[in-house]
Structure 1
Protein backbone atom coordinates (compact mmCIF):
# COMPACT_ATOMS: atom_id res chain seq x y z
CA UNK A 1 0.00 0.00 0.00
CA UNK A 2 1.42 3.38 -1.00
CA UNK A 3 2.30 5.82 1.76
CA UNK A 4 0.31 9.09 1.47
CA UNK A 5 2.53 12.03 0.58
CA UNK A 6 1.55 15.61 1.42
CA UNK A 7 1.62 18.15 -1.33
CA UNK A 8 4.89 20.14 -1.03
CA UNK A 9 3.04 23.42 -0.35
CA UNK A 10 0.91 21.76 2.32
CA UNK A 11 3.97 20.15 3.89
CA UNK A 12 5.87 23.42 3.97
CA UNK A 13 2.84 25.14 5.50
CA UNK A 14 2.41 22.47 8.16
CA UNK A 15 6.09 22.66 9.09
CA UNK A 16 6.25 26.45 9.26
CA UNK A 17 6.42 27.93 12.77
CA UNK A 18 5.23 31.31 11.51
CA UNK A 19 1.86 32.97 11.94
CA UNK A 20 0.38 36.11 10.46
CA UNK A 21 -0.07 38.74 13.17
CA UNK A 22 -1.42 42.26 12.99
CA UNK A 23 0.14 44.97 15.13
CA UNK A 24 -2.00 48.06 15.63
CA UNK A 25 0.46 50.80 16.59
CA UNK A 26 -0.38 54.28 17.80
CA UNK A 27 1.60 56.67 15.60
CA UNK A 28 2.41 60.30 16.36
CA UNK A 29 4.70 62.64 14.46
CA UNK A 30 4.50 66.31 15.57
CA UNK A 31 6.13 67.37 12.31
CA UNK A 32 3.18 65.95 10.38
CA UNK A 33 0.11 66.35 12.59
CA UNK A 34 -0.97 67.28 16.11
CA UNK A 35 -3.16 64.18 16.25
CA UNK A 36 -2.13 60.60 16.87
CA UNK A 37 -3.45 57.86 14.59
CA UNK A 38 -3.57 54.06 14.69
CA UNK A 39 -1.79 52.18 11.94
CA UNK A 40 -1.93 48.44 11.26
CA UNK A 41 1.07 46.35 10.21
CA UNK A 42 0.78 42.68 9.23
CA UNK A 43 3.86 40.51 9.66
CA UNK A 44 4.81 36.87 9.36
CA UNK A 45 6.49 35.94 12.61
CA UNK A 46 7.18 33.08 14.98
CA UNK A 47 4.73 33.43 17.91
CA UNK A 48 7.54 32.48 20.29
CA UNK A 49 9.30 35.70 19.39
CA UNK A 50 8.81 38.91 21.33
CA UNK A 51 6.93 42.11 20.58
CA UNK A 52 10.31 43.84 20.27
CA UNK A 53 11.22 41.42 17.47
CA UNK A 54 8.00 42.34 15.67
CA UNK A 55 8.73 46.06 16.05
CA UNK A 56 12.21 45.49 14.60
CA UNK A 57 10.70 43.60 11.67
CA UNK A 58 8.22 46.41 11.02
CA UNK A 59 10.90 49.09 11.23
CA UNK A 60 13.48 47.24 9.14
CA UNK A 61 11.17 45.81 6.49
CA UNK A 62 7.94 47.83 6.35
CA UNK A 63 8.30 51.36 7.72
CA UNK A 64 11.66 52.80 8.70
CA UNK A 65 9.98 55.85 10.30
CA UNK A 66 8.56 53.81 13.18
CA UNK A 67 10.22 55.16 16.32
CA UNK A 68 10.71 53.44 19.68
CA UNK A 69 13.36 53.01 22.38
CA UNK A 70 15.24 49.82 23.09
CA UNK A 71 18.74 48.92 24.20
CA UNK A 72 19.74 45.63 25.84
CA UNK A 73 16.65 43.67 24.66
CA UNK A 74 16.93 41.40 27.71
CA UNK A 75 14.71 43.05 30.32
CA UNK A 76 17.57 44.80 32.11
CA UNK A 77 17.78 48.35 30.75
CA UNK A 78 14.04 49.09 30.96
CA UNK A 79 14.08 51.35 27.91
CA UNK A 80 11.35 49.60 25.89
CA UNK A 81 8.41 49.94 28.30
CA UNK A 82 5.16 50.50 26.39
CA UNK A 83 1.45 49.68 26.58
CA UNK A 84 0.77 46.37 24.86
CA UNK A 85 -2.85 45.26 24.66
CA UNK A 86 -3.69 47.90 27.25
CA UNK A 87 -1.07 46.87 29.84
CA UNK A 88 2.35 48.29 30.63
CA UNK A 89 5.01 45.76 29.65
CA UNK A 90 8.56 45.51 28.37
CA UNK A 91 8.44 44.74 24.65
CA UNK A 92 11.57 42.59 24.98
CA UNK A 93 9.94 40.31 27.58
CA UNK A 94 6.49 39.97 26.05
CA UNK A 95 5.98 36.89 23.86
CA UNK A 96 3.61 37.22 20.93
CA UNK A 97 1.97 33.86 21.68
CA UNK A 98 0.82 35.21 25.06
CA UNK A 99 -1.14 38.07 23.47
CA UNK A 100 -3.94 36.26 21.56
CA UNK A 101 -2.23 36.97 18.21
CA UNK A 102 -5.31 35.89 16.26
CA UNK A 103 -6.59 39.38 17.08
CA UNK A 104 -4.80 42.71 16.45
CA UNK A 105 -2.11 43.40 19.06
CA UNK A 106 -2.21 47.04 20.16
CA UNK A 107 1.01 48.89 20.93
CA UNK A 108 1.07 52.45 22.27
CA UNK A 109 3.29 54.69 24.42
CA UNK A 110 3.10 54.60 28.21
CA UNK A 111 0.66 57.09 29.73
CA UNK A 112 1.20 60.22 31.82
CA UNK A 113 4.29 61.46 29.99
CA UNK A 114 4.40 63.69 26.90
CA UNK A 115 4.67 61.71 23.67
CA UNK A 116 7.56 62.95 21.52
CA UNK A 117 7.11 60.60 18.56
CA UNK A 118 5.33 57.28 18.09
CA UNK A 119 6.24 55.11 21.11
CA UNK A 120 8.78 57.52 22.63
CA UNK A 121 7.80 59.69 25.59
CA UNK A 122 9.65 62.47 27.40
CA UNK A 123 11.22 60.71 30.39
CA UNK A 124 12.70 63.85 31.96
CA UNK A 125 9.87 64.41 34.53
CA UNK A 126 10.21 60.77 35.57
CA UNK A 127 13.98 61.02 36.04
CA UNK A 128 13.68 64.38 37.81
CA UNK A 129 11.45 62.78 40.44
CA UNK A 130 14.03 60.00 40.75
CA UNK A 131 16.84 62.52 41.27
CA UNK A 132 14.77 64.49 43.81
CA UNK A 133 14.61 61.58 46.28
CA UNK A 134 18.44 61.40 46.52
CA UNK A 135 18.93 57.88 45.08
CA UNK A 136 22.45 57.41 46.43
CA UNK A 137 24.16 56.42 49.67
CA UNK A 138 24.71 59.33 52.06
CA UNK A 139 27.17 59.00 54.92
CA UNK A 140 29.01 61.34 57.26
CA UNK A 141 32.56 61.48 58.53
CA UNK A 142 35.78 60.49 56.86
CA UNK A 143 35.98 58.18 53.91
CA UNK A 144 36.33 54.62 55.22
CA UNK A 145 39.47 52.61 54.63
CA UNK A 146 37.47 49.40 54.08
CA UNK A 147 34.02 48.47 52.84
CA UNK A 148 30.99 49.32 54.98
CA UNK A 149 29.86 45.99 56.38
CA UNK A 150 26.20 45.02 56.53
CA UNK A 151 24.50 41.91 57.85
CA UNK A 152 22.49 39.64 55.57
CA UNK A 153 19.38 40.55 57.56
CA UNK A 154 19.96 44.29 57.07
CA UNK A 155 20.55 43.75 53.35
CA UNK A 156 17.37 41.72 53.03
CA UNK A 157 15.36 44.63 54.46
CA UNK A 158 15.58 46.55 51.18
CA UNK A 159 16.52 43.76 48.78
CA UNK A 160 13.25 43.91 46.81
CA UNK A 161 13.56 47.58 45.90
CA UNK A 162 17.11 47.17 44.56
CA UNK A 163 15.58 45.40 41.54
CA UNK A 164 14.18 48.57 39.96
CA UNK A 165 15.38 49.17 36.38
CA UNK A 166 13.74 52.62 35.99
CA UNK A 167 11.51 51.51 33.12
CA UNK A 168 8.64 53.74 34.35
CA UNK A 169 6.11 50.92 33.89
CA UNK A 170 4.88 51.34 37.47
CA UNK A 171 4.73 55.14 37.49
CA UNK A 172 2.99 55.37 34.12
CA UNK A 173 0.37 52.82 35.21
CA UNK A 174 -0.66 55.00 38.18
CA UNK A 175 -3.99 56.88 37.82
CA UNK A 176 -2.78 59.61 40.18
CA UNK A 177 0.28 60.20 37.99
CA UNK A 178 -1.90 60.31 34.86
CA UNK A 179 -3.96 63.14 36.36
CA UNK A 180 -1.19 65.02 38.11
CA UNK A 181 2.32 64.91 36.73
CA UNK A 182 3.64 66.57 39.91
CA UNK A 183 3.23 63.34 41.90
CA UNK A 184 6.60 61.71 42.56
CA UNK A 185 5.23 58.38 41.40
CA UNK A 186 5.88 54.78 42.48
CA UNK A 187 9.36 54.40 40.96
CA UNK A 188 10.77 57.41 42.81
CA UNK A 189 9.29 56.17 46.09
CA UNK A 190 10.68 52.67 45.47
CA UNK A 191 14.16 54.13 44.96
CA UNK A 192 13.83 56.28 48.08
CA UNK A 193 12.78 53.13 50.00
CA UNK A 194 15.95 51.37 48.83
CA UNK A 195 18.10 53.92 50.72
CA UNK A 196 15.76 54.85 53.59
CA UNK A 197 15.95 51.26 54.83
CA UNK A 198 19.66 50.79 54.13
CA UNK A 199 21.42 50.52 57.50
CA UNK A 200 24.54 52.20 56.10
CA UNK A 201 22.73 55.35 54.95
CA UNK A 202 22.34 58.49 57.07
CA UNK A 203 19.87 60.55 55.03
CA UNK A 204 16.65 58.68 55.76
CA UNK A 205 15.06 61.66 57.50
CA UNK A 206 15.81 63.92 54.54
CA UNK A 207 14.21 61.53 52.09
CA UNK A 208 11.17 61.08 54.32
CA UNK A 209 10.68 64.83 54.47
CA UNK A 210 10.95 65.04 50.68
CA UNK A 211 8.24 62.39 50.36
CA UNK A 212 6.09 64.05 53.05
CA UNK A 213 5.36 66.81 50.53
CA UNK A 214 1.85 67.24 49.10
CA UNK A 215 3.07 65.60 45.90
CA UNK A 216 4.79 62.80 47.78
CA UNK A 217 3.88 59.43 49.18
CA UNK A 218 0.46 60.45 50.54
CA UNK A 219 -0.89 60.83 47.01
CA UNK A 220 -0.81 57.06 46.59
CA UNK A 221 -4.32 55.54 46.48
CA UNK A 222 -3.18 51.91 46.78
CA UNK A 223 -4.71 50.68 43.52
CA UNK A 224 -1.93 48.09 43.04
CA UNK A 225 -1.57 49.09 39.36
CA UNK A 226 2.13 49.69 39.98
CA UNK A 227 2.73 46.26 41.49
CA UNK A 228 0.87 44.58 38.64
CA UNK A 229 2.88 46.52 36.04
CA UNK A 230 6.38 45.94 37.44
CA UNK A 231 8.31 43.62 35.07
CA UNK A 232 10.75 42.79 37.86
CA UNK A 233 8.12 41.60 40.30
CA UNK A 234 8.81 44.30 42.92
CA UNK A 235 6.10 44.63 45.57
CA UNK A 236 5.77 48.34 44.83
CA UNK A 237 2.59 48.97 46.83
CA UNK A 238 4.14 47.26 49.87
CA UNK A 239 7.24 49.47 49.61
CA UNK A 240 5.07 52.61 49.44
CA UNK A 241 3.13 51.45 52.51
CA UNK A 242 6.40 50.92 54.40
CA UNK A 243 7.53 54.46 53.57
CA UNK A 244 4.17 55.81 54.83
CA UNK A 245 4.60 53.83 58.05
CA UNK A 246 8.15 55.16 58.49
CA UNK A 247 6.84 58.71 58.11
CA UNK A 248 4.29 58.16 60.87
CA UNK A 249 6.50 56.23 63.29
CA UNK A 250 9.93 57.63 62.29
CA UNK A 251 11.22 54.11 62.65
CA UNK A 252 13.04 52.46 59.75
Structure 2
Protein backbone atom coordinates (compact mmCIF):
# COMPACT_ATOMS: atom_id res chain seq x y z
CA UNK A 1 0.00 0.00 0.00
CA UNK A 2 1.38 3.46 -0.88
CA UNK A 3 2.30 6.00 1.79
CA UNK A 4 0.17 8.80 0.34
CA UNK A 5 -3.13 9.31 -1.42
CA UNK A 6 -4.45 12.14 -3.60
CA UNK A 7 -7.59 14.03 -2.60
CA UNK A 8 -9.37 15.86 -5.40
CA UNK A 9 -11.27 18.54 -3.50
CA UNK A 10 -14.00 20.80 -4.90
CA UNK A 11 -13.26 24.50 -4.41
CA UNK A 12 -15.88 27.19 -4.94
CA UNK A 13 -16.57 30.72 -3.71
CA UNK A 14 -19.89 31.81 -5.29
CA UNK A 15 -19.11 35.48 -4.78
CA UNK A 16 -15.78 35.27 -6.60
CA UNK A 17 -15.69 32.14 -8.80
CA UNK A 18 -17.61 31.62 -12.03
CA UNK A 19 -17.82 27.86 -11.45
CA UNK A 20 -16.50 25.19 -9.09
CA UNK A 21 -12.97 23.95 -9.65
CA UNK A 22 -11.02 20.96 -8.38
CA UNK A 23 -7.75 21.17 -6.48
CA UNK A 24 -5.54 18.18 -5.77
CA UNK A 25 -3.73 17.58 -2.49
CA UNK A 26 -1.45 14.70 -1.49
CA UNK A 27 -1.98 13.54 2.09
CA UNK A 28 -0.54 10.67 4.17
CA UNK A 29 -2.35 7.35 3.75
CA UNK A 30 -2.70 5.98 7.25
CA UNK A 31 -4.84 3.03 8.22
CA UNK A 32 -6.61 4.89 11.04
CA UNK A 33 -7.30 8.08 9.08
CA UNK A 34 -10.80 8.92 7.94
CA UNK A 35 -11.45 11.21 4.98
CA UNK A 36 -12.07 13.97 7.52
CA UNK A 37 -8.54 13.49 8.87
CA UNK A 38 -7.22 14.00 5.36
CA UNK A 39 -9.18 17.23 5.04
CA UNK A 40 -7.91 18.44 8.40
CA UNK A 41 -4.37 17.66 7.28
CA UNK A 42 -4.93 19.87 4.24
CA UNK A 43 -6.43 22.63 6.39
CA UNK A 44 -3.62 22.50 8.97
CA UNK A 45 -0.59 21.76 6.79
CA UNK A 46 -1.25 22.56 3.14
CA UNK A 47 -4.03 25.10 2.55
CA UNK A 48 -5.71 27.02 5.35
CA UNK A 49 -8.25 28.53 2.94
CA UNK A 50 -10.15 25.25 2.50
CA UNK A 51 -13.63 25.39 4.08
CA UNK A 52 -15.66 22.45 5.39
CA UNK A 53 -17.83 21.57 8.40
CA UNK A 54 -17.09 19.11 11.17
CA UNK A 55 -17.57 18.85 14.91
CA UNK A 56 -17.65 15.61 16.89
CA UNK A 57 -15.67 13.19 14.65
CA UNK A 58 -17.78 10.38 16.14
CA UNK A 59 -20.72 10.02 13.74
CA UNK A 60 -23.06 11.81 16.12
CA UNK A 61 -23.32 15.47 15.09
CA UNK A 62 -23.90 14.81 11.37
CA UNK A 63 -22.11 18.00 10.32
CA UNK A 64 -19.29 16.46 8.25
CA UNK A 65 -21.48 15.03 5.47
CA UNK A 66 -19.95 15.38 2.00
CA UNK A 67 -19.96 13.63 -1.34
CA UNK A 68 -17.06 11.18 -1.62
CA UNK A 69 -16.52 9.53 -5.00
CA UNK A 70 -20.13 10.33 -5.87
CA UNK A 71 -21.76 9.05 -2.67
CA UNK A 72 -23.06 11.09 0.29
CA UNK A 73 -21.22 9.96 3.42
CA UNK A 74 -20.08 11.12 6.84
CA UNK A 75 -16.41 11.84 6.27
CA UNK A 76 -15.56 11.01 9.89
CA UNK A 77 -16.68 7.42 9.34
CA UNK A 78 -15.29 6.90 5.83
CA UNK A 79 -11.65 5.82 5.73
CA UNK A 80 -8.94 6.73 3.26
CA UNK A 81 -7.88 3.10 2.95
CA UNK A 82 -11.33 2.20 1.60
CA UNK A 83 -10.43 4.21 -1.53
CA UNK A 84 -6.77 3.28 -1.92
CA UNK A 85 -4.82 3.75 -4.09
CA UNK A 86 -7.03 6.74 -4.95
CA UNK A 87 -7.57 9.37 -6.02
CA UNK A 88 -10.54 10.35 -3.83
CA UNK A 89 -12.97 12.95 -5.14
CA UNK A 90 -14.53 15.08 -2.39
CA UNK A 91 -17.41 17.43 -3.18
CA UNK A 92 -20.18 19.20 -1.20
CA UNK A 93 -23.48 17.43 -0.63
CA UNK A 94 -25.68 17.43 -3.72
CA UNK A 95 -29.04 19.26 -3.89
CA UNK A 96 -27.94 22.12 -1.61
CA UNK A 97 -26.58 25.57 -2.55
CA UNK A 98 -22.84 25.87 -1.89
CA UNK A 99 -21.73 28.54 0.57
CA UNK A 100 -18.02 27.93 0.04
CA UNK A 101 -15.96 24.90 -1.01
CA UNK A 102 -17.49 21.91 0.85
CA UNK A 103 -19.92 23.94 2.99
CA UNK A 104 -23.57 23.91 1.90
CA UNK A 105 -26.55 26.07 2.80
CA UNK A 106 -29.00 24.10 5.00
CA UNK A 107 -31.64 26.79 5.52
CA UNK A 108 -34.29 24.91 3.52
CA UNK A 109 -33.91 21.83 5.73
CA UNK A 110 -34.01 23.89 8.93
CA UNK A 111 -37.20 25.59 7.72
CA UNK A 112 -38.98 22.32 6.93
CA UNK A 113 -37.98 20.48 10.07
CA UNK A 114 -40.15 22.40 12.59
CA UNK A 115 -43.08 22.32 10.13
CA UNK A 116 -43.66 18.62 10.95
CA UNK A 117 -43.84 19.34 14.72
CA UNK A 118 -40.93 17.10 15.74
CA UNK A 119 -41.82 17.15 19.40
CA UNK A 120 -44.38 15.52 21.68
CA UNK A 121 -47.79 17.15 21.22
CA UNK A 122 -50.30 16.81 24.05
CA UNK A 123 -53.94 17.88 23.87
CA UNK A 124 -54.86 17.12 27.45
CA UNK A 125 -54.25 19.47 30.36
CA UNK A 126 -51.14 17.65 31.51
CA UNK A 127 -48.05 18.41 29.45
CA UNK A 128 -45.05 16.14 29.18
CA UNK A 129 -43.25 18.26 31.79
CA UNK A 130 -45.97 17.77 34.40
CA UNK A 131 -46.31 14.01 34.59
CA UNK A 132 -44.38 10.83 33.89
CA UNK A 133 -45.56 8.81 30.88
CA UNK A 134 -44.48 5.18 31.11
CA UNK A 135 -43.80 3.10 28.01
CA UNK A 136 -43.45 -0.61 27.48
CA UNK A 137 -40.45 -1.98 25.54
CA UNK A 138 -42.83 -2.74 22.67
CA UNK A 139 -44.06 0.87 22.59
CA UNK A 140 -40.47 2.12 22.52
CA UNK A 141 -39.59 -0.29 19.72
CA UNK A 142 -42.37 1.19 17.56
CA UNK A 143 -40.52 4.45 17.00
CA UNK A 144 -36.94 3.86 18.23
CA UNK A 145 -35.45 3.28 14.78
CA UNK A 146 -36.73 6.63 13.51
CA UNK A 147 -35.38 8.42 16.58
CA UNK A 148 -31.81 7.60 15.53
CA UNK A 149 -31.74 10.38 12.89
CA UNK A 150 -28.85 12.83 13.41
CA UNK A 151 -30.02 15.35 10.77
CA UNK A 152 -26.91 14.83 8.65
CA UNK A 153 -28.96 15.45 5.46
CA UNK A 154 -27.26 12.66 3.52
CA UNK A 155 -30.73 11.41 2.62
CA UNK A 156 -31.57 14.77 1.02
CA UNK A 157 -28.37 14.66 -1.01
CA UNK A 158 -29.23 11.15 -2.21
CA UNK A 159 -32.92 11.83 -2.94
CA UNK A 160 -33.74 12.29 -6.66
CA UNK A 161 -37.18 13.69 -5.78
CA UNK A 162 -35.71 16.48 -3.66
CA UNK A 163 -33.31 17.27 -6.50
CA UNK A 164 -36.26 17.91 -8.84
CA UNK A 165 -38.90 19.11 -6.36
CA UNK A 166 -37.40 21.47 -3.77
CA UNK A 167 -40.82 21.83 -2.09
CA UNK A 168 -40.67 18.15 -1.08
CA UNK A 169 -40.48 17.92 2.72
CA UNK A 170 -37.77 15.32 2.38
CA UNK A 171 -36.89 11.97 3.93
CA UNK A 172 -35.46 13.08 7.29
CA UNK A 173 -38.31 15.45 8.15
CA UNK A 174 -40.94 12.83 7.32
CA UNK A 175 -39.10 10.08 9.22
CA UNK A 176 -38.86 12.36 12.25
CA UNK A 177 -42.57 13.15 12.03
CA UNK A 178 -43.27 9.41 11.94
CA UNK A 179 -41.07 8.97 15.01
CA UNK A 180 -43.52 11.14 16.98
CA UNK A 181 -46.63 9.78 15.27
CA UNK A 182 -45.69 6.33 16.58
CA UNK A 183 -44.84 7.50 20.09
CA UNK A 184 -47.49 6.38 22.58
CA UNK A 185 -47.09 9.67 24.49
CA UNK A 186 -47.90 11.85 21.47
CA UNK A 187 -51.37 13.13 20.54
CA UNK A 188 -50.43 15.23 17.52
CA UNK A 189 -50.54 12.73 14.64
CA UNK A 190 -53.71 14.27 13.19
CA UNK A 191 -52.07 17.72 13.29
CA UNK A 192 -49.21 16.43 11.14
CA UNK A 193 -51.57 14.70 8.71
CA UNK A 194 -52.50 17.87 6.79
CA UNK A 195 -48.84 18.51 6.04
CA UNK A 196 -47.57 14.98 5.49
CA UNK A 197 -50.43 13.60 3.35
CA UNK A 198 -49.90 16.09 0.52
CA UNK A 199 -48.17 16.32 -2.84
CA UNK A 200 -45.22 17.94 -1.05
CA UNK A 201 -45.26 15.30 1.67
CA UNK A 202 -45.27 11.53 1.43
CA UNK A 203 -47.05 11.40 -1.93
CA UNK A 204 -44.09 13.09 -3.62
CA UNK A 205 -41.88 10.10 -2.80
CA UNK A 206 -41.44 7.63 -5.67
CA UNK A 207 -39.73 5.09 -3.41
CA UNK A 208 -36.32 5.01 -5.06
CA UNK A 209 -34.91 4.10 -1.66
CA UNK A 210 -31.60 5.97 -1.97
CA UNK A 211 -32.33 7.83 1.26
CA UNK A 212 -32.28 4.60 3.22
CA UNK A 213 -29.11 3.42 1.47
CA UNK A 214 -27.34 6.67 2.37
CA UNK A 215 -28.45 6.81 6.01
CA UNK A 216 -25.47 6.15 8.32
CA UNK A 217 -27.72 5.30 11.28
CA UNK A 218 -30.09 2.75 9.72
CA UNK A 219 -33.13 4.97 10.16
CA UNK A 220 -34.84 3.75 6.96
CA UNK A 221 -36.61 6.99 5.98
CA UNK A 222 -37.98 5.28 2.86
CA UNK A 223 -39.73 2.76 5.07
CA UNK A 224 -41.12 5.53 7.28
CA UNK A 225 -42.56 7.29 4.23
CA UNK A 226 -44.18 4.15 2.85
CA UNK A 227 -45.61 3.30 6.25
CA UNK A 228 -47.16 6.75 6.50
CA UNK A 229 -48.58 6.47 2.99
CA UNK A 230 -50.53 3.45 4.21
CA UNK A 231 -51.73 5.39 7.26
CA UNK A 232 -52.82 8.36 5.14
CA UNK A 233 -54.58 6.18 2.57
CA UNK A 234 -56.39 4.26 5.30
CA UNK A 235 -57.63 7.43 6.99
CA UNK A 236 -58.80 8.87 3.68
CA UNK A 237 -60.68 5.69 2.85
CA UNK A 238 -62.30 5.59 6.26
CA UNK A 239 -63.41 9.21 5.94
CA UNK A 240 -65.08 8.41 2.60
CA UNK A 241 -66.67 5.09 3.54
CA UNK A 242 -67.31 5.87 7.22
CA UNK A 243 -67.52 9.66 7.56
CA UNK A 244 -68.97 9.35 11.07
CA UNK A 245 -65.76 7.59 12.22
CA UNK A 246 -63.58 10.51 11.18
CA UNK A 247 -65.34 12.94 13.49
TM over 0.5: yes
| 1:81 correspondence with 2:65 | yes
CA distance in 2 between partners of 1:133 and 1:197 (Å)? 14
In 1: Cα distance, 2:200 partner to 2:62 partner: 25
- CA distance in 1: counterparts of 2:209 and 2:120, whole angstroms: 28
After superposition, where does 1:86-125 map in structure 2 within 5 Å?
86-99=70-83, 101-125=84-108
For the 8 Å contact 1:163–1:234, the answer to whether it is kept is yes
Q: TM-score, normalised by structure 1?
A: 0.89
Mapped partners of 2:105, 2:85: distance in 1: 32
Q: Which structure is higher in helix share?
A: 2
SS at match of 1:89: strand
Asked if the contact 1:208/1:243 (under 8 Å) is kept, the reply is no
Counterpart in the other structure of 1:39: 23
Structure 1 equivalent of residue 48 of structure 2: 64
What's the offset of the Cα at 1:146? Answer: 3.0
What's the offset of the Cα at 1:18? 7.0
1:186-218: CA deviations, max 9, x gaps? 001110010111111111011122112221111
Give the match for residue 228 of structure 2. Answer: 243
**TM-score normalised over the length of structure 2:** 0.91
The unaligned stretches of length 5 or more in structure 1 are 1-16
CA contact (8 A) 1:19 1:47 kept: no
Q: 8 Å contact 2:2–2:29 — kept in the other structure?
A: yes
Corresponding residue of 2:245: none
The equivalent of 1:217 in structure 2 is 202
Query: Conserved in 1, the CA contact under 8 Å of 2:14 and 2:98?
Result: no
SS of residue in 1 equivalent to 2:55: coil
Q: Which runs of 5+ in 2 are unaligned?
A: 239-247
Higher gyration radius (CA):
1
